[in-house]
């Protein structure tokens, strides 16, 4: 293939979020696994102070692959800049990204759509987390008043708004979604934390932090219910390209939506690549699919 016909992909990574390091890993994996016969790749690395973001307005690309997680990367901020720059980019647009990251607004939309989400509570045990972080950053299980004060203080390190919700007991599962108007759901993954009581930051990003079973050990009926609900969540906020919806199976029977990840992790340990692999996508094929949905 003539070099001039290759698709120019700029991979955007790093950023001001607490998930900066995870974003760098995701970005490097994307750059390293793009098919060089089809793509001409380069990268923009945003520092923790935000330096480098101005490169968006100077870049020449057919598509920008956004490999940024958390605030400023996954919340519509970068997406808005890319819109202003007139660049095509992977993943969801400004509105869906903003709703997906804002857990308070996300829950309002889900309730309006009749989709079950955790309820606010003043009872123990409860779950405390910042309203706009990913990867369980700043999240805690709370069992008494003393722990509550500590958990709120931790959450407020990352956000000025905090959610205090019912602590639901049941299997944790997640379902990835690919596509735009007519999305495809991938196999459901069951998550069994090995280093904590829930799928926290350490469980997500340390080796042997959790057992991830694909497909999940649930009935076909429940699997379909989870997948259908994941697609409904994805479409309700207007996602495109790819995403991943996290659930608790209350009493191991009833799916309750915890959140949507509009830019799920793309590290070797991440859940989306594992689900895609089970569905028959190699990692390069997954990246190609994500890019196609952006063009």
Q: What is the CATH number of the domain that holds 152?
A: 3.30.1490.20
* Helix, coil or strand: residue 9: strand
* Helix, coil or strand: residue 126: strand
Please return the burial class of 276, using the count of CB atoms within 10 Å of its CB with bins 0-12, 13-18 and 19+.
Answer: buried
> For residue 104, what pLDDT is reported?
94
- Is 95 contained in some domain? no
- Is 242 contained in some domain? yes
**Structural domain of residue 15, as residue ranges?**
3-90
- Is 211 contained in some domain? yes
Active site residues: 19, 135, 270
pLDDT tens, residue order, the chain (295 aa) = 455 689 999 999 999 998 999 999 999 999 999 999 999 999 999 999 999 999 999 999 999 999 999 999 999 999 999 999 999 999 999 999 999 999 999 999 999 999 999 999 989 999 999 988 765 788 889 999 999 999 999 999 998 999 999 999 999 999 999 999 999 999 999 999 886 665 545 544 556 678 999 999 999 999 999 999 999 999 999 999 999 999 999 999 999 999 999 999 998 789 999 999 999 999 999 999 999 999 9
The response to whether 261 counts as a known ligand-binding position is yes
> 44 with 111, same domain?
no
Q: Which CATH number does the domain housing residue 238 bear?
A: 3.30.470.20
Helices (H), the chain: 20-33, 77-84, 94-101, 103-112, 145-155, 201-205, 220-236, 271-278, 283-294
> 37 with 80, same domain?
yes
pTM: 0.91
Token pair of 104 as six digits: 């308070």
Nearest partner of 206 among 192, 191, 195, judged by Cα: 195
> 156 with 181, same domain?
no
> 105 with 248, same domain?
yes
Q: How many domains does the chain have?
A: 3
> 137 with 248, same domain?
no
Q: Which CATH number does the domain housing residue 70 bear?
A: 3.40.50.20
Angstrom distance (rounded) from CA 30 to CA 8: 14
Residues 141/167/71/110 CA torsion (nearest 10 deg): 180
> 107 with 12, same domain?
no
> 79 with 192, same domain?
no
Angstrom distance (rounded) from CA 170 to CA 249: 5
The response to whether 147 counts as a known ligand-binding position is no
The length of the chain in residues reads: 295
> 43 with 106, same domain?
no
Angstrom distance (rounded) from CA 269 to CA 183: 24
Angstrom distance (rounded) from CA 262 to CA 90: 10
- Is 249 contained in some domain? yes
- Is 121 contained in some domain? no
The response to whether 228 counts as a known ligand-binding position is no
Note whether 207 and 222 are within 8 A (CB). no
> 59 with 157, same domain?
no
> 104 with 197, same domain?
yes
């Amino acid at each position: 293939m003539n070099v001039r016909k290759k698709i120019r992909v700029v991979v955007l990574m790093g950023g001001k979020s607490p998930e900066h390091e995870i974003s760098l890993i995701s970005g490097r994996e994307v750059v390293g696994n793009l098919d060089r016969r089809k793509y001409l790749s380069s990268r923009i690395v945003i520092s923790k102070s935000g330096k480098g973001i101005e490169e968006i307005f100077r870049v020449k690309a057919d598509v920008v692959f956004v490999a940024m997680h958390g605030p400023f990367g996954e919340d519509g901020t970068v997406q808005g800049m890319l819109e202003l720059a007139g660049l095509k980019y992977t993943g969801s647009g400004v509105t869906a990204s903003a709703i997906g990251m804002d857990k308070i607004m996300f829950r309002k939309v889900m309730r309006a759509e009749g989709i079950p989400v955790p309820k606010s509570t003043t009872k123990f045990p409860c779950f405390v987390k910042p309203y706009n972080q990913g990867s369980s950053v700043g999240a805690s299980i709370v069992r008494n008043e003393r722990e509550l004060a500590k958990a709120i203080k931790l959450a407020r390190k990352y956000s000025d708004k905090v959610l205090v919700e019912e602590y639901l007991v049941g299997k944790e599962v997640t379902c990835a979604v690919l596509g735009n108007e007519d999305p495809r759901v991938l196999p459901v993954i069951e998550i069994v934390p090995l280093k904590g009581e829930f799928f926290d930051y350490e469980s997500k990003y340390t080796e042997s932090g959790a057992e991830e079973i694909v497909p999940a050990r649930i009935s076909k009926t429940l699997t379909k219910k989870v997948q259908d609900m994941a697609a409904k969540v994805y479409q309700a906020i207007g996602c495109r390209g790819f995403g991943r919806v996290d659930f608790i199976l209350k009493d191991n029977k009833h799916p309750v939506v915890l959140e949507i990840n509009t830019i799920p992790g793309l590290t070797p340990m991440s859940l989306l690549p594992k689900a895609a692999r089970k569905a028959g996508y190699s990692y390069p094929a997954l990246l190609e699919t994500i890019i196609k949905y952006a063009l």
